[in-house]
Amino acid sequence: MADTVRTEIEAGVAVVTIDSPPVNALDETTLEALGAAAARIADDEVSAAVLRGAGGKALAAGADLNELRGALGNRAVMEHHVGITRPVFSAWADLEVPVLAAVDGSAVGGGLELALVCDLIVAERTARLGFPEVKLGLIPGAGGTQRLPRRVGAATAMQMLILGKLLDAEEAREVGLVDIVVEEDAAASATELAARIAAGAGQAVRAAKRAVRAAAEQPLGQGLDFERELFLDVAMTADAREGASAFLERRAAEFKNR
Q: Is the pLDDT of residue 1 over 60?
A: no
Overall average pLDDT of the 17-33 stretch: 91
Higher pLDDT, 131 or 258: 131
Overall average pLDDT of the 185-203 stretch: 95
Q: Which of 77-81, 166-170, 192-196 has the lowest mean pLDDT?
A: 77-81
Cβ count near 91 (within 10 Å): 18
Q: Is the pLDDT of residue 63 over 90?
A: no
Q: What percent of the chain has pLDDT over 90?
A: 76
Closest CA to 102 of 37, 51, 26, 30: 51
Q: What is the Cα–Cα distance from 158 to 145, expressed in whole angstroms?
A: 9
Q: What is the Cα–Cα distance from 93 to 99, expressed in whole angstroms?
A: 9
Q: Which of 40-44, 67-71, 138-142 has the lowest mean pLDDT?
A: 67-71
pLDDT recorded at residue 64: 65
Which of the four pLDDT bands, split at 50, 70 and 90, describes residue 62? Answer: confident
pLDDT recorded at residue 190: 98
Active site residues: 113, 133
pTM > 0.85: yes
Higher pLDDT, 17 or 71: 17
Q: 247 vs 166, 236, 250, CA distance in Å?
A: 45, 17, 5
Q: Is the pLDDT of residue 23 over 50?
A: yes
Overall average pLDDT of the 220-225 stretch: 94
pLDDT recorded at residue 69: 72
Q: What is the per-residue pLDDT across 75-122, written as a single tens digit (0 to 9) for each? A: 887 788 788 899 999 999 999 999 999 999 999 999 999 999 999 999
In the chain, where the domains are located:
5-198, 202-248
Closest CA to 5 of 16, 14, 90, 15: 16
pLDDT recorded at residue 81: 78
Return the ∠ at Cα 66 (arms to 63 and 69), rounded to 5°. 85
pLDDT recorded at residue 98: 97
b/e 211-242 (16+ beta carbons within 10 angstroms → b): beeeeeeeeeeebeebbeebeeebeebebbeb
Domain 202-248 is of which CATH architecture? Answer: Orthogonal Bundle (1.10)
Overall average pLDDT of the 198-213 stretch: 93
Higher pLDDT, 256 or 63: 256
Q: What percent of the chain has pLDDT over 70?
A: 97
Q: Do domains 5-198 and 202-248 have the same CATH topology?
A: no
Q: What are phi and psi of 147, to 5 degrees?
A: -80, -35
State the chain's mean pLDDT as an integer: 92
For 5-198, CATH number?
3.90.226.10
